[in-house]
Each structure stands twice: as C-alpha cells, then as structure tokens.
Amino acid sequence: MLATALARFPRLELQLSVTSLDLLPRLSAELGRTVYCKRDDTTSLALGGNKVRKLEYLVAEALAEGADTLVTAGAIQSNHVRQTAAVAAQQGLACVALLENPIATQDEDYLHGGNRLLLDLFGVEVRPVAALDDPHHQLQAEAQRLRQQGRTPKVIPVGGSNALGALGYVRTGLELADQLDALALQPAAVIVASGSAGTQAGLDLAFNERCPAVPVIGITVSRTVDEQLPKVAALRQQLAALLGLADPAIAPRLHDGYQGPRYGEPNPGTLAAIRRLARLEGLVLDPVYTGKAMAGLLDLVARDELPPGPLVFLHTGGTPGTFAYRHWFTS
C-alpha cells in the first residue's frame, strides 16, 4: 500500500543505491546483544547523510515549480544546509542559507570548518541571523526579498521536515524492512536521532505497515520528550494524510536525557559514545545527532530499558560536522 502511494509523488533519484545494514560485531560483543547499523551516513551526495532522502522529493517539487533558488536555514554546521546546497549546485540552482550560531561559540573550527567550509565550496549565499526563533516566517521573508530581486525562490524547510520531505523516510523504512526480511531478522527496536522529526515520522509510518511489532525509538537531540512528542506526532499525522492513510494509533516513542546542554552542543556522554564507536568499529558519529542518539542506545541497554533482541541503529550522518568540533574532543 505504501509503495503504491509513494509512486504518486515525483522525486529526483539522488540516492541511487541502497545503503547497507551492517552488523557491529565488536560493539555487539561488548554489550552482550546484537547491534546493526543502517548506514545513511554513506548516501551518495556531499559526504553522506539522511537529508538527501528528503531532498529527492522537495527539490523535485522546486524544479516542477520553476524555481531558480533554494532557500533554507539551519545552524552554521547544519548537515541539512550542506546537502541542500549540494543538490542546488548539482541541479544548476542558486542556494541562499540563513545560518545561526546556536551555541554562541567563537571557535574557528566551528565558524569556518566542517559543513561551513563546504557551503563556500558549493557557492552558497550565506545570510547570518542572530537566531532562528521563527524559521518559517524568516524563510518566507527571505523568499520575498529574493522575489523582489526578480528571482524564483523555493523554501526548503529546516531539516527538510515537512510531510513531502518525510516521504523520503517512508521510502527508507520500506528499504530497511526489505533488508530485515532478507536477513530473516526482527529487531527489538530501531533507534534514531529525533530532531526536526521527519526521519522518525517517516520510519514510524513505514514500520507501522511492514514491521508493526518493531518500535521506532527516537532519541531527542534538542528537546524534552514533552516538547518533541507533539512535533513528531503532528508531522506523522500530516504525512499519513498526504499518503491517504490512517495515522497509527500508537504515540511516537521517544527518550530524552541525552540532548543537553542544548542543540548543537555535545555533552560528556555524547563524546564518550563517539570515541567508543570509533575505537570499536571505526565508525564516525557526529556530536549533534548520532553521538547523542548512540549515547541513548548505550545507556538504555545498560539500564535494560529496551526490549530483548537485536537492535538497529540508524546512522543519519553528520561526518563533516565532526571536524568542526575539534575543541570539544581536545579540551
């Protein structure tokens, strides 16, 4: 049913191959339970990451509308902005990005390295803002400024997380379900970083059809569960409506406690999780999303708060941003 519904929506085929589902043998042995990693850090565009999945739909819509400029927003080290900029370059579009400094740092690596360096390489017009406290209206105002210049902008929401963008993670959920079927594997849970909510909402809807006994558990990266739950629930409901489906009756599953001190700033548990996976598996996590999500997985396993059985960790990427955080790893 979902595959048929998805076929109605045009998309750019930017992610041309299936990302692997890899066993993490040394981590599994250390934890005493099997852990697999879905490698969306290895998607095919601009050093990888999950946002390309959403941009396949969002940029297809922009091109159909005759846009000549993509307008989006995020932190200085935003993975979403980096991949939006890369798609724009690939498709011959301009890209304008509103960037904030959410951790108020003057660290040179953060301000100029990592994802920020790549924006310059992709030719982005960067417009610094004091804060993205109302990103919807800020992006609309920027789009209006561009229209007054005679340009044809298309707003790409923060994180690519509206119902159309979240279709990308419905597709990914079906892809992952096929991989699990091929391995005859029913995991106890899928663990994912939960930020702008589109990734979790799309996976949840796909698994509700294909793997209804497998919970998708979001580890919040910037909010408490009370703040994040309505975001995920609302987007999942919008996504279901877009596809002509009923929204699942079960509320999205979330855990917090790993997101502090704020979005974009790692805590000791985040840094420890990044080091542990690097040294056990040669796997690079990032300090904003996947490091916090893995810290949650490790802690929930240690406290025996997850159902018994194998776990799947969705690696949503962020590798370039890791290089902007050298100070946090050396201080």
Closest C-alpha to 56, from 98, 24, 94, 11: 11
Write out residues in the chain with pLDDT < 50, as ranges: none
- Give the residue carrying structure tokens 């852990």: 35
Domain boundaries, the chain: 2-49+162-330, 51-160
Closest C-alpha to 324, from 86, 77, 104: 77
The pair of structure tokens assigned to 6 is 């998805």
Q: DSSP per residue over 136-157, as a string?
A: HHHHHHHHHHHHHTT--EEE--
Please work out, in degrees rounded to the nearest 5, the angle formed at the alpha carbon of residue 72 by the alpha carbons of 146 and 123.
Answer: 75
Per DSSP bridges, beta strands 21-23 and 35-39 are: antiparallel
DSSP-based three-state secondary structure for 71: strand
Chain-centroid distance of CA 173 in Å reads 13
Torsion of CA 174, 201, 272, 301, to 10 degrees: -70
Interatomic CA distance for residues 177 and 267, integer angstroms: 33
What are the backbone angles phi and psi of residue 77, rounded to the nearest 5°?
-100, 30
CB count, 10 Å around CB of 52?
25
pTM for the whole thing? 0.97
- The pLDDT, as a whole number, for residue 172 is 98
CATH class name, domain 2-49+162-330: alpha beta
Interatomic CA distance for residues 193 and 222, integer angstroms: 10
Size of the chain, expressed as the number of residues it contains: 331
CB count, 10 Å around CB of 136?
12
- The pLDDT, as a whole number, for residue 331 is 75
- The pLDDT, as a whole number, for residue 176 is 98
Contact status, residue 293 vs residue 228, Cβ threshold 8 Å:
no
User: Of the listed 17, 78, 222, 331, which one is catalytic?
Assistant: 78
The CATH number given to 51-160 is 3.40.50.1100
Q: Convert the pLDDT of each residue in 284-310 to its tens digit.
A: 999 999 999 999 999 999 999 999 999
The gap between the terminal CA atoms of the chain, to the nearest Å, is 52
Interatomic CA distance for residues 303 and 50, integer angstroms: 29
DSSP secondary-structure letter at 251? Answer: P
Residue 78 annotated in active site = yes
Q: Do 2-49+162-330 and 51-160 come out as alike in CATH topology? A: yes
The pair of structure tokens assigned to 128 is 């610094």
What are the backbone angles phi and psi of residue 145, rounded to the nearest 5°?
-60, -40
Q: Convert the pLDDT of each residue in 155-207 to its tens digit.
A: 999 999 999 999 999 999 999 999 999 999 999 999 999 999 999 999 999 99
